[in-house]
Structure 1
Amino acid sequence: MCLHKKISCFYYRDRNSKDSTCDLILESERKQFPVHKNIMMLVSKYFKKMFNIEMKEKYEGIVKMLQIPHQRLANLIEFIYSGRIKITEENLTDILDDAEYTELEALKEICKTVMLRLVSTDNCLKLRAYAQRYNLDEVFVKTNQEITTSFAAVVQHDDFVQLDVDDLSAVIKLRNKTCEEAVFTGIVKWVNHNPLQREELFVNLLSQIDFNLMSPEFLAQISTEKLNFQRDGANSVKVGNKVYVTGGWNDESGRSCEMLNLEKPTKWNVLPNMMEFRSYFGSCFIADHIYVTGGRSQHCDDLSSCEKFNIYNNKWMRVNSMWHARAKHGTVVCRNSLYCIGGYDGRKILSSCEQYNVWSGVWNEIAPLNQARKGLACVVLDGNIYAIGGQGYRGQFLSTVERFNPAIGRWVYVASLKHARYYSSACVIRNKIFVFGGFDGEDLTSVEVYKPTSNVWTIAFEMENPIDGATVVAI
């Protein structure tokens, strides 16, 4: 039976007459609304409990409804007396909040009916969250059905990246097995929405995917998306959900810059060229800019010059040069400073290292490496800089690894690699250092992993093809 049919027409007319018998005031934001206490108790468990137990409101003529804005309270009272209320997708959550707070079960029931009618691909994630919050089982079932039916479209909506990891896993389980490619795309999009907090969840989320159900074309696309230019001695950085690749030894690519959006990994986008040709240089991201340091010119001169790229206006500008020309060096960001490690200056292999303050624009020399090295891999883990492998001043390939703590200001040796590696590639994944390939007289396929807690390197796996001089980022 509709709620308003339970209420005598007398009370509805009486409330609006100048001789009203209303005996209670509901107040919100200094607006007062006269009502009948017995009507409030009849329709709302909230008011029934208020006036049946020892609460101060039981003896006062005014109840302050601090949680409900005055216009919403007016609409709520109108519903209680007449059964009329306008519910839209925009005000639905407010009305549900008010119905839940005042324990108006009849209003919740009407909201449920409206929600069942509104469920669509565009809003099913949002309405699913409402259904969970307000225990609306029928709505929850219907939103789940919509997700299953339209999974590929659902993951494209902004609500998808706002899910917490538990809801994300629950939603992923609702898809049918023809949607694995959409699941992969959705997971990448979700992780890249907040990479600092979500990167470590990536592997576990991918374990929910059956890669056997993906098409060979899709697998090829996500694993071998091609650059616009061939590059040797290029460098790359990952910023949010985008990968930037710059420079490299090629007549066309030495100044060029490209960007791949990981949410739509179908095309590398060409960006403005660097100011100078560079190969075998360093790069990193800090303070909204991609910095490139040193490298080798098209005339085989080793460079001390540096420049930076603003990722918001897509413009390059020069910054102060390093103290020393260097190529095949390491460039990293650690504790809000930029560091350039080792390398080659055109005459000798370097042990020198420099620190750059991006705020003052000043370079300073820091403690040198224990062992001069070029073609090293360089990463930062737990606030420490690691200089990995490379080639020594006698031309020998190195397996040694050094670690620099900026707070202490000196380099110390840690465990050596299993294999000497010149011009290998490295990145950090889940608090471990991974080193890929390299050269020790021949190109290597092995990948080593380092755990700082145990100070041990182990062989993680073998790659299908050997690589050296590649640039890698962790996604």
Structure 2
Amino acid sequence: MDTTNNDVTRHYALLGKLIAEDRNSDESTCDLVLESEGKKFPVHKNVMMLVSKYFKKMFTVEMKEKYEGIVKMLQIPHQRLANLIEFIYTGRIIITEDNVINIMDDAEYTELEVLKNICATALLNLVSADNCLKFRACAQRYNLDEVFVKTNQEITNSFAEVVRQDDFVQLDVDDMSAVIKLKDKNLVRKSSVCLGLLVDETLKLAQSPFTGKLLIVGGEESPTYCVVYDVTTRQPTLLPNLNIGRAGATAVKVGSKVYVIGSAAEVDEDGYGDSDSNGNGDDDSDDRDDEDGQGDDEGGLSDDGGGHGDDEVDLSDDEGDLSGDDKDGLSDDEGGDESHSCEMLDLNEPTEWKVLPDMFEHRSYCGSGFIADHIYVTGGQDENEKTLSSCEKFDIHNKMWTKINNMLHAREEHGTVVCNGSLYCLGGYDDESVVLSSCERCDLESGIWNEIAPLNQARGGLACVVLDGNIYAIGGFCEEGQDLATVERLDPKVGMWENITSLKHDHGHLSACVIGNKIFVIGGKTVEVYDPTSNVWATAFEIEKPVSEAAVVAI
């Protein structure tokens, strides 16, 4: 008697069940590990090759992964990778309006055709006025003709609602014009004024009035110079000079206090840096000096970043006896005058910079970020010009430095930001002067560093900030040493970098900070401002002295 179709179906189901269970058994036959953000997932190489063209090509052509037992999936966050593997083995996955595009991105990346088809069907069923612009962009990206037609129909039917959405404002001019044509194909053709109005309105969003102040500290041209610019009046106000010259230092603002760390610079008798004794040049040279763009600090995130260093030293003179007028517990001769030195200015009493305890190591061109009463300092270059992977943190209350876990890669002239309770380090240069695209994230609770998706373009001497939960990598130098105008943005929830509108001018060793809901970038004498709503850069104003390798914070 022959087996029935039901028998065959049951056998297939049993075989799939046994393979899936084997993944987690003590005697598993898995022969491959997929890794994302430090999480490791054992899988069967043959299973991956059968269902995914991505893995089939990886193990049938001469790629390095063919000879290794581990594959790092840097483009896919670990939870999404776990869901992808679960689908491969069981066919189960939860698809919602919020995650369908992410799942489609992952399916496209791994060339998982079955899942792509499921996502395409889900997109068709989920199209609405609220999501039609995002779904339309996804349909264009992956050539989903049916989804594209369906989203166009929804735009036409709900046009008045769609054009009021933030997604519409963020479209580039070509896409915006295409969407308008869906409502009336003759509208743009009939009126040449229409497209001009769209551009004008978009620019108005970027150039709308803004308020706030930014503080520029040190820099290659004027290493001890400190000046505040009011971004509304564009008027400068001088503050006391730094105790020592600094170019390529890093800075954070915590409450009313501004902390400046590392990167000592020589100063001539007139107070200028050696690169420009007249203090009026605009030197955006290709030499490797750094402004790491420490504009990300918004003055007091409340996540918990402590508790993972085991080498803690009290570096203050007398922590238990803070007498006299020195209420910060700092003395004028407590710190040094080299690149492991730090100083602080209280903006409520801006009479002088107070010297802080020295760091464990000399650090030029390092990065920093503030979270949970600690300033975290990453990498940089030591006194022997060696690029560092080491990191340390400063307790702003106890005035003590503590060593923390090293980064995965040595970096200098990189970007460092704090976002969603984690510390991120981006790009920079390694010890061989190679420009890096690699990025990594430290979970401050565990102290563990993990690689994340690399930048689309390797860049050193960049500026980095955080705005609305997104990380921005701005300008810098490329591998050929040329200045960059390109800008990238990372949504940590998505885990992939996207290119956004470029700066109006290319700059390396530029500086950046966030004021309100806008990003301000300073390079040379030009201050540019970015409005994320319109995705447009505009020139805000010009400053008196050129800026390169300066630290900048919003105050």
TM-score with structure 2 setting the length: 0.45
Q: Does 1:332 align with 2:417?
A: yes
Please tell me the residue identity of whatever aligns with 2:452.
Answer: I
Q: Does 1:358 align with 2:444?
A: yes
Using the TM superposition, give the Cα deviation of residue 250 of structure 1 relative to its aligned residue in structure 2, in angstroms: 4.0
Match of 2:533 among 443, 453, 473: 453
CA distance in structure 1 between the partners assigned to 2:516 and 2:228 by the alignment: 24
Unpaired runs of 5+ residues, structure 1, are 1-199, 205-217, 438-443
- For residues 234-283 of structure 1, the C-alpha deviation after alignment (integer angstroms, 9 at most, x for no partner) is 11100011000111134823011111111000111111100000000001
CA distance in structure 2 between the partners assigned to 1:364 and 1:333 by the alignment: 15
Q: 3-state DSSP class of the match of 1:356?
A: strand
Decide whether the 8 Å contact of 1:230 with 1:253 is kept in 2.
Answer: no
CA distance in structure 2 between the partners assigned to 1:431 and 1:202 by the alignment: 10
Decide whether the 8 Å contact of 2:461 with 2:509 is kept in 1.
Answer: yes
Runs ≥4 residues deviating over 3 A? 200-204, 218-222
Q: 1:269 to 1:202 in 2, by over 3 A?
A: farther
Please tell me the residue identity of whatever aligns with 2:393.
Answer: K
Q: Does 1:378 align with 2:439?
A: no
CA distance in structure 1 between the partners assigned to 2:485 and 2:211 by the alignment: 31
CA distance in structure 2 between the partners assigned to 1:272 and 1:390 by the alignment: 31
Match of 1:269 in 2: 354
Decide whether the 8 Å contact of 1:290 with 1:308 is kept in 2.
Answer: yes
Match of 1:472 in 2: 552
Q: 3-state DSSP class of the match of 1:280?
A: coil
Decide whether the 8 Å contact of 2:462 with 2:474 is kept in 1.
Answer: yes
Using the TM superposition, give the Cα deviation of residue 233 of structure 1 relative to its aligned residue in structure 2, in angstroms: 1.5
Please tell me the residue identity of whatever aligns with 1:310.
Answer: D
Using the TM superposition, give the Cα deviation of residue 203 of structure 1 relative to its aligned residue in structure 2, in angstroms: 4.5
Match of 2:245 in 1: 230
Q: 1:408 to 1:223 in 2, by over 3 A?
A: same
Q: Does 1:369 align with 2:455?
A: yes
Please list, as runs of the form range in 1=range in 2, the aligned pairs for 1:45-444 lying within 5 A after superposition.
Answer: 203=212, 222-250=237-265, 252-347=337-432, 348-437=434-523, 444=524
Q: 3-state DSSP class of the match of 1:419?
A: coil
| Structure with larger RCO (C-alpha < 8 A, sep 6+) | 2
Q: 1:379 to 1:352 in 2, by over 3 A?
A: same
CA distance in structure 2 between the partners assigned to 1:350 and 1:219 by the alignment: 33
CA distance in structure 1 between the partners assigned to 2:210 and 2:454 by the alignment: 37
Decide whether the 8 Å contact of 2:366 with 2:377 is kept in 1.
Answer: yes
CA distance in structure 2 between the partners assigned to 1:256 and 1:309 by the alignment: 12
Decide whether the 8 Å contact of 1:222 with 1:265 is kept in 2.
Answer: no
Decide whether the 8 Å contact of 1:231 with 1:253 is kept in 2.
Answer: no
CA distance in structure 2 between the partners assigned to 1:473 and 1:219 by the alignment: 10
CA distance in structure 2 between the partners assigned to 1:389 and 1:420 by the alignment: 7
CA distance in structure 1 between the partners assigned to 2:210 and 2:439 by the alignment: 35
Decide whether the 8 Å contact of 1:399 with 1:417 is kept in 2.
Answer: yes
CA distance in structure 2 between the partners assigned to 1:298 and 1:397 by the alignment: 26
Match of 1:6 in 2: none
Decide whether the 8 Å contact of 1:256 with 1:271 is kept in 2.
Answer: yes
Using the TM superposition, give the Cα deviation of residue 385 of structure 1 relative to its aligned residue in structure 2, in angstroms: 0.2
Q: Comparing both structures, which one devotes a greater share of its residues to helix? A: 1
Please tell me the residue identity of whatever aligns with 2:349.
Answer: K
Using the TM superposition, give the Cα deviation of residue 201 of structure 1 relative to its aligned residue in structure 2, in angstroms: 10
TM-score with structure 1 setting the length: 0.52
Which structure: larger Rg?
A: 1
CA distance in structure 1 between the partners assigned to 2:248 and 2:488 by the alignment: 23
CA distance in structure 1 between the partners assigned to 2:458 and 2:537 by the alignment: 22
Q: 3-state DSSP class of the match of 1:375?
A: coil
Q: 3-state DSSP class of the match of 2:390?
A: strand
Using the TM superposition, give the Cα deviation of residue 339 of structure 1 relative to its aligned residue in structure 2, in angstroms: 0.3
Using the TM superposition, give the Cα deviation of residue 219 of structure 1 relative to its aligned residue in structure 2, in angstroms: 9.7
Using the TM superposition, give the Cα deviation of residue 346 of structure 1 relative to its aligned residue in structure 2, in angstroms: 2.3
Using the TM superposition, give the Cα deviation of residue 313 of structure 1 relative to its aligned residue in structure 2, in angstroms: 0.3
Q: 3-state DSSP class of the match of 1:308?
A: strand
Please tell me the residue identity of whatever aligns with 1:319.
Answer: I
Q: 1:286 to 1:219 in 2, by over 3 A?
A: closer
Please tell me the residue identity of whatever aligns with 2:503.
Answer: L
Q: 1:289 to 1:465 in 2, by over 3 A?
A: same
- For residues 90-125 of structure 1, the C-alpha deviation after alignment (integer angstroms, 9 at most, x for no partner) is xxxxxxxxxxxxxxxxxxxxxxxxxxxxxxxxxxxx
Q: 3-state DSSP class of the match of 2:377?
A: strand
CA distance in structure 2 between the partners assigned to 1:388 and 1:222 by the alignment: 27
Q: 3-state DSSP class of the match of 1:340?
A: strand
Decide whether the 8 Å contact of 1:377 with 1:424 is kept in 2.
Answer: yes
Match of 1:462 in 2: 542
Decide whether the 8 Å contact of 2:343 with 2:354 is kept in 1.
Answer: yes
Task: Count matched residues.
Answer: 257
- For residues 175-211 of structure 1, the C-alpha deviation after alignment (integer angstroms, 9 at most, x for no partner) is xxxxxxxxxxxxxxxxxxxxxxxxx99759xxxxxxx
CA distance in structure 2 between the partners assigned to 1:400 and 1:239 by the alignment: 30
The Cα RMSD (Å) is: 2.1
CA distance in structure 2 between the partners assigned to 1:445 and 1:380 by the alignment: 23
Please tell me the residue identity of whatever aligns with 1:367.
Answer: A
Please tell me the residue identity of whatever aligns with 2:530.
Answer: Y
CA distance in structure 2 between the partners assigned to 1:250 and 1:424 by the alignment: 17
Please tell me the residue identity of whatever aligns with 1:364.
Answer: N
Please tell me the residue identity of whatever aligns with 1:447.
Answer: V
- For residues 119-162 of structure 1, the C-alpha deviation after alignment (integer angstroms, 9 at most, x for no partner) is xxxxxxxxxxxxxxxxxxxxxxxxxxxxxxxxxxxxxxxxxxxx
CA distance in structure 1 between the partners assigned to 2:356 and 2:238 by the alignment: 22
Q: 1:234 to 1:432 in 2, by over 3 A?
A: same
- Percent identity between the two aligned chains: 59
